[in-house]
């Protein structure tokens, strides 16, 4: 039987065309070689496929065990916006682009390196026996530069950039999957957080353990509400006129079983990203309202204490925020005028009309509103008046230094004046020294909050503080009100 043009492998494993007649045995061998070849190569581009690439990786990993100086690198590449090219120019052009990219990649590396197509628009390169990290970054740069040139495909000029992650054998891999996973993860990071023109990045093992830690924390956060791991701390807000406590800000803490107290700065962004913020936000609201209602009964001499609860920007995107507020007040029996909600300038900037309508409704419910961290966001002073805000909380960054820096004094003077003109009052955040406190008082700031008065306290400590305060101020021989805070 005659076989024409059937492929068989040569010594490198690459098939060759056979011309002319062969015996049946040769024919069978040729067919087997073709099958072997097909099972290790990508049919579209002719590059190594995943299977062959993994085999090569295992070989070089084995070599690192024998030779400590032996170094190799894996590049993981993914074309940017390939789907758009496929969708707009058609799959045929898309396929031709993949072939052109394959040839470009081959042209950027040495013959002993392995270029593979894992599938879709994902390619990998094994840079074998390199001298150092520079060889890997140079190859990445060559690839980046070559791919930046347009391809001419069927009369179309097609541009394609690529995102690359690089993993080095020096990290110490035992499994082919592990080095591929790290290169892939790094590529993913490049694609999602592209920093200017940077198309590649080298895997950083410390980032990996950090990322794993974050992932673990995120998993733990999902069950934290159910396990009742959240607690609220309360930081007093003190009037600069009477030096008495006018309210508390509720600040959330997470009691993690292994890590101890986790700061909201760490887990609130995570809660926002996962959507858990809505449930956590509601829990905080109800808990803070319940606590204040309890204190009102416990300390009848302080009937006008307020509680301030922070709202995240993300909570404004949920439709039932207003219902949640109503529900928390109703369940706990707290009158709405004792609840203050703290929002940040970013809430006002994003989706201003919708947010304004929600704020107006909150105000109609009788709840009061504070603008937190004022001065750190982008809200313009000129449109401040269009939002129904009761209180401006001047950010710590202005308060810190108000005793020494003239510029900060002037900023605070201006903000207090502006607030006064708009019918708002002011709270200075982060007051840490007596001098700062006096300066803020002379600048006519209404109230202050900060370590000088007290750190955020757990419920028991907050109750002790209210009781002490009551005793001190009810003493006819009391010294000036400030003495109470100075004594602590």
Structure tokens at 389: 């805000």
Which of residues 126 and 238 has its CB atom nearest to ligand C2E in the complex?
Answer: 238
Structure tokens at 272: 């926002």
3-class SS string, 159-176: CCCEEEEEEEHHHCCCCH
User: Could you say which of ligand C2E, Mg ion, none residue 165 binds, taking C-beta under 5 to 8 angstroms by partner kind?
Assistant: none
Q: What is the phi-psi region of residue 109: left when phi exceeds 0, alpha when psi lies from -120 to 50, beta otherwise?
A: beta
Which of residues 169 and 313 has its CB atom nearest to Mg ion in the complex?
Answer: 313
Spell out, one character per residue from 322 to 361, where the chain touches Mg ion: x when CB under 5 A holds, - when not: --------------------x-------------------
- Interface region with ligand C2E, contact rule CB under 6 A, candidates 33-41, 47-55, 262-270, 326-334: 262-270
Which of residues 42 and 429 has its CB atom nearest to Mg ion in the complex?
Answer: 429
Closest CA to 219 of 174, 276, 143: 276
Q: Is residue 268 a contact point for ligand C2E (CB under 6 A)?
A: yes
Selected from 95, 106, 178, 432, the binder of ligand C2E by CB under 6 A is 432
Contact 76, 180 (CB under 8 A): yes
Which of residues 117 and 314 has its CB atom nearest to ligand C2E in the complex?
Answer: 314
End-to-end CA distance of the chain: 103
Selected from 430, 443, 469, 485, the binder of ligand C2E by CB under 6 A is 430
For 438, list phi and psi in degrees, rounded to 5.
-65, -40
Q: Is residue 373 a contact point for Mg ion (CB under 5 A)?
A: yes
Work out how close the CB of 308 gets to ligand C2E at its nearest, in angstroms, rounded to a whole number. 8
How many other C-beta atoms are found inside a 10 Å radius of the C-beta of residue 286? 19
Which of residues 286 and 342 has its CB atom nearest to Mg ion in the complex?
Answer: 342
Work out how close the CB of 373 gets to Mg ion at its nearest, in angstroms, rounded to a whole number. 4
Structure tokens at 295: 């204190």
- Interface region with ligand C2E, contact rule CB under 6 A, candidates 43-51, 101-109, 150-158, 446-454: 446-454
- Interface region with ligand C2E, contact rule CB under 6 A, candidates 48-56, 176-184, 212-220, 306-314: 306-314
Which of residues 49 and 449 has its CB atom nearest to ligand C2E in the complex?
Answer: 449
Which of residues 97 and 268 has its CB atom nearest to ligand C2E in the complex?
Answer: 268
Which of residues 121 and 345 has its CB atom nearest to ligand C2E in the complex?
Answer: 345
Beta-sheet strands, E only, within 304-461? 306-310, 339-344, 368-374, 391-394, 425-428, 447-448
For 475, which DSSP code? Answer: -
For 376, list phi and psi in degrees, rounded to 5.
-100, -15
Work out how close the CB of 292 gets to Mg ion at its nearest, in angstroms, rounded to a whole number. 16
Residue-by-residue DSSP string for 130-143: -SSHHHHHHHHHHH
Selected from 284, 332, 426, 436, the binder of ligand C2E by CB under 6 A is 284
User: Could you say which of Mg ion, ligand C2E, none residue 264 binds, taking C-beta under 5 to 8 angstroms by partner kind?
Assistant: ligand C2E
Quote the distance between the C-alpha of residue 395 and its chain's center. Answer: 23
Residues 26-55 binding ligand C2E (CB under 6 A) are: none
The set of residues, in sequence order, having a beta carbon less than 8 Å from that of 80 and lying 6+ positions away, is: 160, 161, 162, 163, 191
Selected from 98, 164, 245, 252, the binder of ligand C2E by CB under 6 A is 252
CA distance 458 to 455: 10
Share in percent of the chain as helix, strand, coil (round to 5): 50, 20, 30
Residues 368-397 binding ligand C2E (CB under 6 A) are: 372-373, 396
Q: Given the rule CB under 6 A, which residues bind ligand C2E?
A: 235, 251-252, 263-265, 268, 284, 310-312, 342, 372-373, 396, 429-432, 449-451, 456
Q: Given the rule CB under 5 A, which residues bind Mg ion?
A: 310, 342, 372-373, 429
């Amino acid at each position: 039987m005659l076989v024409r043009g059937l492929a068989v492998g040569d010594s490198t494993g690459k098939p060759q065309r056979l011309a002319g007649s062969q015996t049946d045995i040769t024919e069978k061998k040729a067919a087997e070689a073709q099958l072997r070849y097909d099972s290790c190569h990508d049919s579209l581009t002719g590059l190594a496929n995943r299977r062959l690439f993994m085999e090569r990786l295992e070989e070089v990993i084995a070599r690192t065990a024998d030779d400590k100086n032996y170094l190799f690198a894996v590049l993981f590449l993914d074309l940017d916006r390939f789907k758009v090219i496929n969708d707009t120019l058609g799959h045929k052009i898309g396929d031709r682009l993949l072939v052109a990219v394959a040839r470009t990649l081959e042209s950027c590396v040495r013959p002993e390196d392995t270029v593979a197509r894992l599938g879709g628009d994902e390619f990998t390169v094994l840079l074998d026996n390199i001298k150092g990290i520079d060889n890997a970054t140079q190859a990445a740069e060559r690839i980046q530069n070559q791919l930046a040139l347009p391809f001419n495909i069927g009369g179309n000029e097609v541009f394609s950039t690529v995102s690359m992650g690089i993993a080095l054998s020096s990290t110490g891999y035992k499994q082919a999957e592990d080095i591929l996973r790290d290169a892939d993860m790094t590529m993913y990071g490049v694609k999602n957080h592209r920093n200017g023109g940077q198309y590649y990045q080298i895997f950083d093992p410390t980032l990996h353990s950090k990322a794993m830690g974050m992932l673990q924390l995120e998993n733990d956060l999902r069950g934290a509400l159910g396990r009742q791991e959240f607690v609220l701390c309360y930081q007093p807000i003190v009037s600069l006129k009477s030096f008495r406590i006018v309210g508390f800000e509720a600040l959330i803490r997470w009691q993690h079983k292994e890590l101890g107290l986790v700061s909201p700065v760490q887990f609130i962004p995570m809660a926002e990203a996962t959507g858990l913020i809505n449930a956590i936000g509601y829990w905080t609201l109800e808990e803070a309202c319940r606590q204040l209602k309890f204190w009102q009964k416990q300390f009848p001499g302080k009937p006008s204490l307020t509680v301030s609860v922070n709202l995240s920007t993300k909570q404004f995107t949920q439709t039932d925020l207003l219902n949640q507020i109503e529900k928390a007040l109703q369940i706990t029996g707290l009158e709405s005028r004792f609840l203050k909600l703290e929002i940040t300038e970013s809430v006002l900037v994003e989706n201003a009309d919708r947010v304004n309508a929600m704020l107006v409704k909150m105000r109609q419910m009788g709840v009061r509103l504070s603008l937190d961290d004022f001065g750190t966001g982008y809200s313009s002073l000129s449109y401040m008046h269009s939002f129904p805000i009761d209180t401006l909380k001047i950010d710590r960054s202005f308060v810190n230094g108000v005793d020494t820096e003239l510029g900060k004094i002037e900023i605070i003077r201006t903000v207090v004046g502006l607030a006064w003109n708009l019918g708002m009052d002011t709270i200075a955040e982060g007051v840490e020294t007596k001098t700062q406190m006096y300066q803020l008082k002379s600048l006519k700031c209404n109230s202050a909050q900060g370590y000088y008065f007290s750190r955020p306290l757990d419920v028991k400590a907050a109750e002790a503080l209210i009781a002490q305060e009551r005793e001190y101020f009810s003493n006819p021989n009391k010294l000036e009100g400030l003495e109470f805070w100075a004594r602590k």
